[in-house]
Structure 1
Amino acid sequence: MDLSKESLPSNASDNSAEVQQFRGTEVELQSLKRTETLLLRVQSKLSFFNEQLREGRKGIYLETLRIYLIMAVFVLAVFSIYWGSYFDRSLRYKNLRMLVVIEDDQIVDGMEPFIGNSVRQILNTSQAHFLGDWKIYNSSEFSALAAKDGLSIFDEVKKQVHHQHYWSSIYVKPNATANLLNAIEAGNTAYNVSYNSVVSYYETGRDYLAMNSYVTPNVARINDMFLRMQGSIIDNMMTGKNTSDIFADINAVKVAASSLEFFKIDGIPFTDAVITAPAQVGLIYMVILTFFSFNFFSTVYPKVAKMNVKPVQFLLYRVGSTIISFLVLSFFFSMVSLAFQVDFTKAFGKGGWPVYWATNFLTMWAVGGINEVAGMLIIMVYPPMIGFWLLFWVVANISATFSPIALTPAFYRYSYAMPIHASYEITKVIIFDTYKGALGRNYGILVAWVCIATVLLTVTSVFFGKKMAARAIAEKQRQEEEFLEKFRHEDGEAINLEP
């Protein structure tokens, strides 16, 4: 039987039209439904302080307090490491080993060695002991050490400082008192009183911040104490002499009035401020840069994993690509210093820059590999902690690196084993040509960190991949369940809307 509109009676057709007009079109019904839902949503919004939200507010308060507690603990812990490296530093000046060689220790023609004796007297005071650990040798003691190396006394002094057995030196030249007296009596203005009396040899390149902040200022304080004794030294020298006849010569007065200022010799001066970038601050940026690499490639690794490659090949890609990234980053990092004309030829000639690049590569591999491992572990446990990890890793590496470890509490001896400290020492050799004796140890430290980081990266990558895959499956199941629940809910609403 045909039930089309044409077969219906006219009155039935009219009634249908009236019903349709009363109910509205399907579009109008859907619009009405959406409007009603929107109104319900607006009307269902509650004040944050509504009684119905008490439990929710309580949960938020507790979560906020937990976050503050975590942040407070890590701020106190991490920054205390850095602040602690500076704590009571002045009380540890006595840990700075200083070499003192006094060759003015013999009576010459009845003249006492007043200059040598005055230096020894000053260094035996409590004030001097506060400023450094002064290892005092007389001429016979130190000449035996110099003879073993086939060097003169002063060359042996320079060698001891260059080999970093001492931070600085005070060298009182042989017969300094007698020679000064002869120069005064002869009115010899060509006689360099400072150079021929006391010389201080040091190398700023060993640690340019420490030298300028602690070492040379402390030696200068000893010099000030010595200068305050100059009047009595000259008086003692002139005892029994016919001063009227001697000082009748104006040149004799000039020589006697010449300052006994220590003659300073800087064996490795700091001459270019741009060196601060690669030799110090740049090492901090290096740690941060390796962390950026982890962030940038965090979207690439999942894409490779989804390509259904063999697990072993993916693992090789994961570790290998990380190492290649450090190689590329270290190249451009090293190029910046070359572009700003840092001289890399002092220690290794034309091979200086390749050595510098290789050092930066190993350093990035060491600190960056640990960053990768820590990043994956933190993502699995509590991702917001990544920032604090980076802060900790920087602070742990630099706290006692850019200052003498001898001036820090014993806790900071761990810095000798840290990758950034090793890289810092190597970089100073490359740029300043400081003592090379510790190169093997410092490269060994970097290689050890590289091995540890590579092993940990391999193991952690496997564990991280399994963990993330399990989470992805669980998330997919959760989304499917939410979709089905939503579908059932919407389907039920659609049925209820039927006339």
Structure 2
Amino acid sequence: MKPGKFYPRARQERPSIHDPDVRPRRLALLKAAVINFLALQFLFLGLFCYIFGSLFQQTGHIHNLNVLYVDYDGGAIGNAVRKAYNQMADTGFPTLVEEPALFYPDSSSIDGAVCDINYWAALYVAPNASNHLSAALAGGSAAASYDKSDVMTMVWNEARYSTVVDSAIASNLKSLAEAARVAYMNAEGKKLVQTLNSSDPAALSALSNPWVLSSNNLQETTQGSRLIYNTLVIILILIQEFFFLGYVNGLYQQFQLYTSVRPHRVAIVRQIISGTYTLVGALCTTGAIWAFRHGWQVSGGQFAITWMALWLFAHLNFLVLDVFTIWIPPPYVPMALISWIVSNVTSILLPFELSPAFYRVGYALPAHSIFNVLIDIWSSGCNPQLYYVLPVLFVYEVVGLVLSSIGVYRRSHYAMIKQEVDEKVIQERVEAVISERQGQIPTDGLHEEQQIETSESDGEAEGTMQRRATVATQPEEELMEIIRREMSRPRVEKATTSRESTGPSFNLPFKDYQASI
């Protein structure tokens, strides 16, 4: 079945591409296509290199993650941990930073060091752990009461880049604990065999598996949705604000608010609408996170604070995108949008410790700030970076409010200029049509005057003048039809300049109400 059967006008004859009138347009088309082809290819090549560069040789940067080590035991087990670390230490293993027990008098102070993000995690050996193990090998009540999980403990916060700490911290520390067991048996094996009570099953169990690494997870975060908190959640918020901005601009254009309402009122209402929309949108986002939080221990208070944080982030991004569409030429707005999304997401894909130093420019981006705020909220304050992330967010908010409000005046200014130009064009076209219709009168009049001279009849002359008056004075209904036809006739306009642009604009999907306007 031929498509032309349903679209007959598509088969209408057109000039050949070799036509002299078509050739200049063909060359201009090829030139524009090549330029834009290269621009887009270089843009996306740069974006791919930027995001892949942040992940490049991630394993080689794991040594930048510092882990606190405190040996409360001061015996064979603590020495075994040191020997195991010396064997495993390389660029693919976290750096173990040993501190004296005097600096951390109890385990709660170690929890505080990890909570205050002085270290990514901590590992400590319990006091008298070596003596308790030696006593357990001798059998009896000491073996029966021996607790394998009260020997070595790691402290970490899984809410802080959960996928990273799972593999780079938790897994490596578990491997370190196993390597320490092997080092302990190699160093103390002969002595242990001499003191072992082979008739006591509890003593044999302590020999075969002297300890189990305990885990003190400050905020367990194991739900599947955690994988997209620092990727798709941020991306969807940014895209959501872009589409909403397009609908807001479409609303203002369809109702011609820039030319019918004072700019300060437009700016106020625009901010109220955007604030309300982002408030509801942040509520929906937070609700979705909470709905799929299975096994995640977070409270209602954390829900409310998360909602407020995401509201701030969503609104400032609406303002940023609005500023883009005001001050950046329209052809470059899509490029700015995708660059903004990629740069923001790249700033939170990995901790800066695992990326090249260049990527620390992400400290200035709102996505990095909001993700650190969320980590602080979800782990009950165990990510104290609000002293710099909140000012970053509020700077974007305040500057965005100012520039967006100025942009309303800019848009109103050029909207009024465009309206005046359109009205002038319409007026000129209507006048041209009326003049064209009236221009037929002199020709008819000359013919009639010749009839007057030949007839030399006053009565015929009077009839001729009446006919001329009839031609000159069109009926009002016919004149209005001419005006409507001229206003609806398509006309070729020059491309809209960047100054006249109101940004991306989408037609409203539900607009039955316009019939009554």
What range describes the TM-score normalised by the shorter chain of this pair? 0.7 to 0.9
Match of 2:38 among 69, 78, 81: 69
Q: Identity across aligned pairs (percent)?
A: 19
Alignment of 1:471-482 (within 5 A): 471=418, 473-474=420-421
Q: Does the CA-based 8 Å contact 2:369-2:393 persist in structure 1?
A: yes
Q: Does the CA-based 8 Å contact 2:133-2:210 persist in structure 1?
A: no
Match of 2:233 among 282, 288, 291: 282
CA 1:458–1:165: 2 relative to 1, 3 Å: same
Deviating 4+ runs (over 6 angstroms): 341-345, 478-492
Match of 1:222 among 176, 190, 199: 176
Give the Cα–Cα distance (whole angstroms) in 1 for the partners of residues 379 and 393 of structure 2.
20
Q: CA deviation at 1:425?
A: 2.1
Residue 330 (1) aligns with residue 274 (2): no
Q: CA deviation at 1:342?
A: 7.5
Residue 94 (1) aligns with residue 41 (2): no
Q: CA deviation at 1:202?
A: 1.3
The answer for the alignment partner of 2:460 in structure 1 is none
CA 1:306–1:463: 2 relative to 1, 3 Å: closer
The answer for the alignment partner of 1:232 in structure 2 is 186
The answer for the alignment partner of 1:308 in structure 2 is 260
CA 1:335–1:174: 2 relative to 1, 3 Å: closer
Give the Cα–Cα distance (whole angstroms) in 2 for the partners of residues 50 and 435 of structure 1.
72
Q: CA deviation at 1:64?
A: 0.4
The answer for the alignment partner of 1:273 in structure 2 is 224
Residue 131 (1) aligns with residue 90 (2): no
The answer for the alignment partner of 1:25 in structure 2 is none
CA RMSD of aligned residues (A): 3.6
Residue 457 (1) aligns with residue 404 (2): yes
1:54-104 per-position Cα deviation (integer Å, ceiling 9, x unaligned): 322211110100110111121022232221210121111111011111123
Alignment of 1:89-128 (within 5 A): 89-105=58-74, 113-125=75-87, 127-128=89-90
The answer for the alignment partner of 2:446 in structure 1 is none
The answer for the alignment partner of 2:213 in structure 1 is 262
Give the Cα–Cα distance (whole angstroms) in 2 for the partners of residues 426 and 256 of structure 1.
46
Q: CA deviation at 1:172?
A: 1.6
SS in 2 for 1:312: helix
- Which runs of 5 or more residues in structure 1 are unaligned? 1-37, 106-112, 147-151, 493-499
1:345-385 per-position Cα deviation (integer Å, ceiling 9, x unaligned): 84xx543333222212211121111011112334xx233x3
SS in 1 for 2:119: coil
Give the Cα–Cα distance (whole angstroms) in 2 for the partners of residues 118 and 93 of structure 1.
23
Q: CA deviation at 1:132?
A: 1.5
SS in 2 for 1:164: coil
Q: Does the CA-based 8 Å contact 1:343-1:431 persist in structure 2?
A: no
CA 1:42–1:350: 2 relative to 1, 3 Å: closer
Give the Cα–Cα distance (whole angstroms) in 1 for the partners of residues 377 and 283 of structure 2.
16
Q: Does the CA-based 8 Å contact 2:83-2:180 persist in structure 1?
A: no
Q: CA deviation at 1:470?
A: 3.6
Alignment of 1:43-62 (within 5 A): 45-50=14-19, 53-62=22-31
The answer for the alignment partner of 2:163 in structure 1 is 209
Give the Cα–Cα distance (whole angstroms) in 1 for the partners of residues 124 and 28 of structure 2.
71
- Which runs of 5 or more residues in structure 2 are unaligned? 1-7, 440-517
Q: With structure 2 as the length reference, what TM-score do the two structures score?
A: 0.73
1:377-421 per-position Cα deviation (integer Å, ceiling 9, x unaligned): 34xx233x3333222222111213142121111122122332222
Q: CA deviation at 1:454?
A: 0.7
Q: Does the CA-based 8 Å contact 1:98-1:132 persist in structure 2?
A: yes
Residue 389 (1) aligns with residue 336 (2): yes
Q: CA deviation at 1:468?
A: 4.3
Q: Which moved more, 1:81-90 or 1:434-443?
A: 434-443
CA 1:476–1:210: 2 relative to 1, 3 Å: farther
Q: Does the CA-based 8 Å contact 1:193-1:259 persist in structure 2?
A: no
Residue 164 (1) aligns with residue 117 (2): yes
Q: CA deviation at 1:258?
A: 1.4
